Amino acid sequence: MSKSKNLFPSNFLWGGATAANQCEGAFDVDGRGLSSVDTIPSGSERMKISRGEKEMLSCQNGYDYPSHEAIDFYHHYKEDIALFAEMGFKCFRLSIAWTRILPNGDDDTPNEKGLAFYQSVFEECRKYGIEPLVTIDHFDTPIELIKKYGGWKDRRMIDAYLKYCRAIFKRYKNLVKYWITFNEINMLLHMSYMGAGIIFADGEDKERVKYTAAHHELIASAKAVKLAHEIMPDAKIGCMLAAGQFYPYTCSPEDVHDALEKDRDNYFFTDIQVRGKYPVWALKRIENAGINLTDIIADGDREILEDGTVDFVAFSYYSSRCTTADPEIFAKHAKPGNAVFRSVINPYLKNTEWGWQIDPLGLRITANSLYDRYNKPLFVVENGLGAVDKIEDDGKIHDDYRIDYLKKHLISLRDAINIDGIPIIGFTAWGCIDLVSASSGEMKKRYGMIYVDKDDNGKGSLKRIRKDSFYWYKKVIATNGESLEI
């Protein structure tokens, strides 16, 4: 086997990633409207609500809503971006909160205060030579549109989304080059409310709802790509999926086939965003679910999909997944009920404190699968370790476990680049500054290289503290990855 060189491309976009709802706070400030995530509380009902199995469209007494304050990036962004610059970031991934721009989701006139906020954020990034990478919709459906349309169940969401895109493309065309249409678009299948503002009515045909909503998002994404290219000819606009290859639990053909099918659940979206058309198996799946294709795919939609293919494929990777066709083995080894992806435990891998399995080589395997499938540049826009951090008596945070995780994943990524030859645009570590966990709503599940003093009860000074991983990542970036071996 050839030996990997210590090289990342010279223009590799090293950086970190966040999402508006998990870091900004200031949920009702400067004209911002309410968004789906603002009504998802922390605690035992979070998963049910995120999955669309329980309705909560307003903030209710007795619940704690972590997005309301989060880490108050809204008022700390200058300090935070300065810390990113100190680490040497070349790129900062963030999302725009749709309802800061259009408070009701489809207003004719954008909210100037919202537009001005992100303009200032992007200018701050540019000041340090940091390239912003913007997610247009990161788990963020305006509540008013959920009330009016039932979220992405309804085709009229496409026009609202396009109105929002037009406003931000026009305003930021000289500040932002890299865009992503939807964060983890396949999350619509797993966390339907969080991902797409969908609440399932009693007895509703879930399959039909999901395929319909997926089609609407895919049309919206394709139209956004086209619009972006019209308004910003130099822009690069990508899709994004929650990736992680499914491994068969055994080499039985049934398990191998099951893994193929499970991967297809997730590829369903990116296959269309990259290739501009539904794969044959996807059309059959819809038909086999008892749905007429013409109920979902309108006249002209095929052309829209063809005209709006993406420039790059972004993905998050935290772990590989594992599956078996045998229901008994599945039940015996299944990950606990709260896991976002239904998967069995892979006995060859270790777990994080939250039961996410650690598989650095899986990142290389996943990148290879994606590149073989799509032949488009890839962008790793999320990866990292959620862990409990402790402030030592000397005031420091010795997060060597996080360094170990990131180091192994970056070495694997470097192999994907150097041994496999895959073009990778960059790597943005998830939650480069501690923020609210999407799945659990906790603060104590920390990913950051920068610690934020805030606990699960909402208490804390919000002070930012550099962890050991801060200095480690700074060196990795300064040496363009060469220090990884040391």
User: What is the binding site for ligand BGP (CB under 6 A)?
Assistant: 19, 22, 183-184, 242, 316, 382, 386, 430, 437-440, 445
Other CB atoms within 10 Å distance of the CB of residue 65: 20
- Catalytic choice (24, 184, 217, 442): 184
**What is the closest distance, in whole angstroms, from the C-beta atom of residue 7 to ligand BGP in the complex?**
28
Contact call for residues 443 and 398 (beta carbons, < 8 A): no
Angle of helix 206-231 relative to helix 253-275, nearest 10 degrees, comes to 40
Which is nearer to ligand BGP, 210 or 285 (by Cβ)?
210
Nearest CA to 161 out of 89, 117, 101 is that of 101
- Structure-token pair, residue 356: 């996410």
- Structure-token pair, residue 256: 């191998």
Contact call for residues 39 and 57 (beta carbons, < 8 A): yes
218 sits in which H/E element: helix 206-231
- Structure-token pair, residue 243: 């990736």
Which is nearer to ligand BGP, 379 or 430 (by Cβ)?
430
Contact call for residues 224 and 165 (beta carbons, < 8 A): yes
Query: Is 382 one of the catalytic residues?
Result: yes
Which is nearer to ligand BGP, 312 or 356 (by Cβ)?
356
**What is the closest distance, in whole angstroms, from the C-beta atom of residue 386 to ligand BGP in the complex?**
4
**What is the closest distance, in whole angstroms, from the C-beta atom of residue 340 to ligand BGP in the complex?**
7
Question: Side chain identity at 392, as an amino acid letter?
Answer: E
- Catalytic choice (24, 131, 217, 382): 382
Contact call for residues 426 and 477 (beta carbons, < 8 A): no
Which is nearer to ligand BGP, 53 or 254 (by Cβ)?
53
Q: What is the DSSP letter of 380?
A: E
**What is the closest distance, in whole angstroms, from the C-beta atom of residue 270 to ligand BGP in the complex?**
15
**What is the closest distance, in whole angstroms, from the C-beta atom of residue 240 to ligand BGP in the complex?**
8
Would strands 91-95 and 131-137 be described as parallel, antiparallel, or unpaired? parallel
With residues binned 3-state (H G I as helix, E B as strand, rest as coil), the percentages for the chain, rounded to 5, are 45, 15, 40
Distance CA 357, CA 360 (A): 10
Which is nearer to ligand BGP, 37 or 411 (by Cβ)?
37
Q: Looking up tokens 């259009």, which residue turns up?
A: 102
Within 8 A by CB and 6+ apart from 470, the residues are 83, 87, 449, 450
Which is nearer to ligand BGP, 38 or 382 (by Cβ)?
382
**What is the closest distance, in whole angstroms, from the C-beta atom of residue 184 to ligand BGP in the complex?**
5
Residues taking part in catalysis: 184, 382
